[in-house]
Amino acid sequence: MSKPELWVIAERRLDHIEPTTQQLITKARDLAGNSFKTVVILLEATADHLEDELTPYGPDEIRVVRDDRFPTATDAEHADALQQLVETYHPNGILFGATITGRSIAPRLQAKLQTGLTADALGLRYDGETLIAVKPSYGDNIMCEITIPERRPQMVTVRPNTFVAEEAAGTAEVTTTTVTFHPVDRLQVTAATPVVNTATTVGDASRVVALGRGAASAAMVNHATQLAEKLGGRIGVSRPLTDQDRFTHDDQIGQSGNTIHPELIINFGISGAVQFLVGMQDAKTIVAVNSDPDAPIFDVADYGYVGDAQTFMTALLAQFN
Amino acid sequence: MKIVVCIKQVPETNNVKIDPVTHNLDRRGLAGVMNPFDKNAVELALNLKDTTGAEVALLTMGPDDYAESVREGMAMGADSGYLLSDRAFAGADTLATGYVIAQALKKIGDADLILFGRQAVDADTGQVGPIVAEFLNQPQITYAASLRMSGPNEVTAERLLEDTKQTLVAQLPAVVSVRSELNTPRYPTPRNIQLSFEKPLTVWHHDDLDLDDTRLGQSGSPTVVTKVYAPEPVKRELTPLTGTPSEAASQLIKALKEHQLI
Ligand SMILES: Cc1cc2nc3c(=O)[nH]c(=O)nc-3n(C[C@H](O)[C@H](O)[C@H](O)COP(=O)(O)OP(=O)(O)OC[C@H]3O[C@@H](n4cnc5c(N)ncnc54)[C@H](O)[C@@H]3O)c2cc1C
Ligand SMILES: Cc1cc2nc3c(=O)[nH]c(=O)nc-3n(C[C@H](O)[C@H](O)[C@H](O)COP(=O)(O)OP(=O)(O)OC[C@H]3O[C@@H](n4cnc5c(N)ncnc54)[C@H](O)[C@@H]3O)c2cc1C
């Protein structure tokens, strides 16, 4: 008996693979164990070789469909192609990134297949052949577990940066297959331009100095910039600080901002609201500085200092010099 | 031109609690309001009404008190409302919700533009719009950051993907879901609030629609919520940094060196 297939739908972002795809491959391998076969579905143009960006992550198979219309295909055209593949191969589960693209194509495919789709999962596990997805709701105030007990495939979109991509040994078998492209002529993608964003973001930094409402002064920001430079990292902020001209939503950590997985995060003057914590609690080492000994941030911290953020920052910088 | 805006009613705050005994969501005493993201869709429709004279109808599926959100939308300026209310629709997931909404839209007929909010703030899926588009076999533009009429029967929209801006052109009819950055929803004026009570609100029950009963409500929903709980951040063992600030700072530096972080 061949193993049931667990699919990851590869997403393209201009000429590259969107990083959530690689994160999902690592997670899928982990979920699959010896019971499932991990298959990445890649729709690309005839001259593309985006599979080269996927093989290092070690799925069992990369199934490629080539058509020059895919790079500018609309959601409905993608969903149509995927439906044909599902009806040929009958996967047990399908994972999409909960990116704008994934969240747009997956529900259309779900409607075609008349199956269930769990949105924006933060956790996944198999119980036998039932996929259990952990999903936040009510603005991350509530978590719930959702299953699709009776219908197949079990579909899930997974929040970007929830899992960490890891290269893996093993050689992925690259195969090609075909579908019939059914063009939808009432909708055209007439342009796609990269939004210029060259600055490294807090999401990429391996060391983060995080500032909250208790560390919002200009002096604090200035000192935090120096500390971040010394650590080779970046500043991140809690939501209230995005009101300052100096910070934008791109700098925000948390549910409605970035989910980050740095080696180190030092939090100054941040209380530790759940919406903040969900964005950073997977950091390897967490340090918290807060004047309130009962601040919830201390519950998730490895190292904590109770006291004034500015005073501690000054002492810390002095010893770095 | 005819525009139908789909709206959902949601609890006024996201601070819901878990009942410690039943482990169910405790929504007692929470007033319902129109899903904030849906106001952006209503505003877009009203904008098109102001410029092109479009007719704007609101559509919601839910218990009878969802009529309040429909009234609110009519007080903003929409012309009419539809409420799809029946016990048979209760407990629907996005697939079963999308099915009933799509069947109602077929009955309303000839909508040129069907608008959705980006997502409902309670369940946060954003799936209902694309599901309805699929059931109606219409093109979709999700997360529209701008939208304008670019021809008598055509809209041009921009969609911001994570790091790409797409321009899309759709021939109507089409389904569009909007980003909240698109516009600032207007407030109801006293005159429109008064007028809203004279505007038609049609209530459709199960028998008013052409429905396959196996696709309704809880039994027509493939997804099952098996557990709800309050998120508990993973607790860690805290090592306090103690003494004077300078002593505490040197303890931290020592620890960071041990972890090879500096
Ligand atoms: C739907 C939704 C989404 C949200 N998304 C996010 C999100 O993505 N990211 C996010 O951050 N928030 C988010 N929030 C907001 C979140 O709930 C909190 O309000 C926010 O994280 C609080 O930020 P803070 O810790 O900086 O401020 P506060 O909670 O005000 O905490 C300030 C802390 O600083 C301490 N302090 C004060 N003075 C000093 C001093 N001199 N020295 C040291 N410590 C001091 C205080 O003891 C306190 O603990 C969201 C909320 C909702 C409802
Ligand atoms: C805690 C919890 C988690 C859930 N998770 C899932 C899940 O992962 N997958 C799933 O399939 N179902 C899920 N559901 C069920 C889902 O909430 C319902 O199906 C709901 O009726 C519609 O989904 P939504 O709130 O996610 O709306 P969204 O899809 O987020 O709403 C998008 C837009 O659709 C329109 N819309 C939504 N609902 C209505 C309506 N009733 N009437 C008119 N227009 C509407 C609005 O314009 C809205 O802005 C969950 C429910 C709960 C309570």
- What's the CA gap between B235 and B52, in Å, rounded? 57
Taking contacts as CB-CB distances below 8 angstroms, the residues of chain B near A298 are: 238
Give CA A113 to chain center in angstroms: 25
Q: What is the mean pLDDT of residues B129-146?
A: 97
Average pLDDT, integer, range B118-140: 95
Q: Which parts of A155-245 fold into alpha helices (H)?
A: 218-231
Are B14 and A18 in contact (CB < 8 Å)? no
CATH class of the domain whose range is A207-320? alpha beta
Q: What is the mean pLDDT of residues A154-159?
A: 97
pLDDT for residue A197: 52
* Closest ligand (CA of B36): 2
Integer Cα distance of B13 and B19 in angstroms: 17
ipTM of the complex: 0.87
Residue with CA at minimum distance from ligand 2 atom 43: B60
CA of A118 to the centre of ligand 2 (A): 11
Q: State percent of chain B over pLDDT 90.
A: 82
pLDDT-above-70 percentage for chain A: 98
C-alpha B249 to ligand 1 mean position (Å): 23
Interface-testing mutation among A101, A114, A138, A227, with chain B (most B C-beta atoms within 10 A)? A138
Neighbours of B208 (CB within 10 A): 14
Residues with a CB atom less than 6 Å from ligand 2:
A 117-119, 135, 137, 144, 146; B 6-8, 35, 37-38, 41, 59-62, 92-95, 97, 101, 116-117, 119-120, 122-123, 125-129, 223, 225
Q: Is A214 in the pocket of ligand 1 (CB under 6 A)?
A: yes
Query: Residue B162 pLDDT more than 80?
Result: no
Residues of chain A with CATH 3.40.50.1220: 207-320
pLDDT of residue A1: 64
pLDDT of residue B7: 98
The model's pLDDT over B176-185, given as tens digits with 9 standing for 90+, comes to 999 988 999 9
Q: How confident is the model at residue B262 (pLDDT cuts 50, 70, 90)?
A: confident
Res. A70: pLDDT tops 80:
yes
Alpha carbon distances (Å) from B199 to A75, A84, B70, B81, B202: 36, 46, 10, 8, 10
Which range is least confidently modeled, A279-283, B16-20, B44-48, B176-180? B16-20
| pLDDT at residue A209 in the model | 97
pLDDT of residue A138: 83
Contact A222, A244 (CB under 8 A): no
Give CA separation, A230 vs A17, A136, A313, B26, in Å.
Answer: 32, 36, 13, 48
Mutate to test the interface with A, among B19, B124, B148 (most CBs of A within 10 A): B124
Average pLDDT over residues A213-218: 96
pLDDT on residue A188: 94
CA B127, CA A118: separation in Å to the nearest integer? 9
B28's tokens: 């007692």
**pLDDT above 80 for B118:** yes
Residue A81 has a pLDDT of 98
CA-based nearest distance B192→chain A, Å: 31
Residue of B nearest to A145 (CA): B227
Give chain B's mean pLDDT: 93
Query: Could you tell me the pLDDT band of residue A178, with boundaries at 50, 70 and 90?
Result: very high
CA A243 to ligand 1 center in whole angstroms: 13
Distance A218 CA to ligand 1 centre (A): 18
Distance CA B44, CA A105 (A): 23
Q: Say which residue, B37 or A250, is predicted with more confidence.
A: B37
Is there a contact between B164 and A144 if contact means CB atoms under 8 Å apart? no
Q: What are the chain A neighbours of B144 within 8 Å (beta carbons)? A: none
pLDDT score recorded for residue A196 = 64
Answer whether residue A198 shows pLDDT above 60: no
Comparing A54-58, A222-226, B256-260, which segment has the lowest mean pLDDT? B256-260
Q: Which helix (H) or strand (E) holds B57?
A: strand B55-61
With bands split at pLDDT 50, 70 and 90, how would you rate the model's confidence at B163? confident
Residue A216 has pLDDT above 90, yes or no: yes
Please provide the average confidence, as pLDDT, over all residues in chain A.
Answer: 93
Longest dimension (CA), chain A: 66
- Convert the pLDDT of each residue in B7-30 to its tens digit: 999 988 777 777 766 666 776 667
Give the lowest-confidence range in A14-18, A27-31, B79-83, B170-174: A14-18
State which of A104, A118, A131, A147 you would mutate to test the pocket of ligand 2, scoring each by most atoms of that ligand within 8 A of its C-beta.
Answer: A118
Closest by Cα among A9, A81, A43 to A176:
A43
pLDDT of residue B23: 67
Categorize the per-residue pLDDT at B50 as very low, low, confident or very high, splitting at 50, 70 and 90. Answer: very high
Token representation of residue B172: 């109507």
Ligand 1 mutation pick, A161, A223, A253, A271, max ligand atoms within 8 A of CB? A271
**From edge to edge, which strands make up the β-sheet containing B2-6?**
A187-194, B164-171, B154-160, B140-151, B174-178, B113-116, B2-6, B55-61, B80-84, B201-204
**In terms of CA atoms, which chain A residue is nearest residue B171?**
A186
**b (16+ CB within 10 A) / e for B17-47:** ebeeeeeebeeeebebbbbebbbbbbbbbbb
What percent of chain B clears pLDDT 70, i.e. is strictly above it? 97
- Domains defined along chain B, listed by start: 2-220 (3.40.50.620)
A200: confidence class by pLDDT, cuts 50, 70, 90: low
**CATH 3.40.50.620 assigned to A5-177:** yes
pLDDT digits (tens, 9 = 90+) for B196-221: 999 999 999 999 999 999 999 999 99
More confident residue, B123 or A167: A167
* Residue pLDDT, tens place only, B56-90: 999 999 999 999 999 999 999 999 999 999 999 99
